[in-house]
């Protein structure tokens, strides 16, 4: 049985103010909020839970598909995700999704897709609270990120990424 949660019920459950205008989080706020933490929620009709490794990897699942070689970065006041396979076709073609986050409560956020009419709700939990794992597989963000749109920012922490690769 599929369970759904209305926006009003979600907002009530988190004690937030989802109906009021909120300011989009800035890049420094996004980095502080996401790096090393787990974002769980839904966007459009997709459920997701992703741990944002400080080195730019994003572990977990999105839309029922386990992440592999998926990465995150900041571009202006948006967080962008890069996935190596197209979600519907499964073909090797980098896909990119960028989101603005707005505070709905101290731990919950409204999501707004950049340039698309998609929105969602999510909450943050400290650390890798859902034990998302790369299962010991090599994880490559550099090749994926090098194909990002011109003017894109570097991954969250290039130093941590290179240190992780050495271990």
d(CA 67, CA 12): 31
pLDDT of residue 95: 80
pLDDT of residue 58: 94
Give the residue-averaged pLDDT of 88-95.
63
d(CA 72, CA 53): 9
pLDDT of residue 122: 97
When the pLDDT of each residue in the chain is averaged and rounded to a whole number, the result is 76
pLDDT digits (tens, 9 = 90+) for 101-144: 999 988 899 999 999 999 999 999 999 999 999 888 888 776 55
Q: How many other C-beta atoms lie within 10 A of the C-beta of residue 47?
A: 14
pLDDT of residue 107: 86
pLDDT of residue 15: 45
Give 69's pLDDT tier (boundaries 50, 70, 90).
confident
Domain ranges of the chain: 23-127+137-162
d(CA 99, CA 112): 5
Between 120 and 12, whose confidence is greater?
120
Between 163 and 17, whose confidence is greater?
17
pLDDT for residue 154 is more than 70: no
Q: How far is CA 45 from CA 67, 81, 90, 93, in A?
A: 18, 17, 18, 22
pLDDT of residue 100: 97
Burial of residue 8 (number of CB atoms within 10 Å: 0-12, 13-18, 19+) = exposed
Give 163's pLDDT tier (boundaries 50, 70, 90).
very low
Residue with tokens 């995150």: 72
């Amino acid at each position: 049985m599929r369970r759904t949660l209305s926006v009003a019920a979600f907002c009530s459950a988190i004690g937030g103010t989802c109906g009021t205008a909120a300011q989009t989080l800035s890049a420094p706020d996004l980095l502080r909020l996401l790096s090393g933490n787990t974002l769980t929620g839904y966007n459009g009709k997709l459920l997701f839970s992703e741990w944002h490794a400080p080195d730019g990897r994003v572990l977990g699942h999105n839309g029922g598909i386990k992440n592999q070689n998926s990465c995150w970065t900041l571009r202006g006041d948006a967080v962008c995700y890069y996935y190596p396979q197209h979600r519907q076709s499964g073909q090797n073609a980098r896909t990119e999704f960028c989101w603005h986050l707005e505070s709905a409560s101290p731990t919950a956020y409204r999501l707004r897709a950049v340039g698309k009419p998609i929105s969602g709700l999510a909450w943050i939990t400290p650390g890798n609270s859902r034990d998302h794992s790369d299962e010991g597989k090599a994880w490559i963000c550099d090749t994926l990120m090098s194909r990002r749109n011109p003017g894109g920012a570097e991954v969250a922490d290039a130093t941590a990424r290179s240190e992780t690769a050495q271990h």
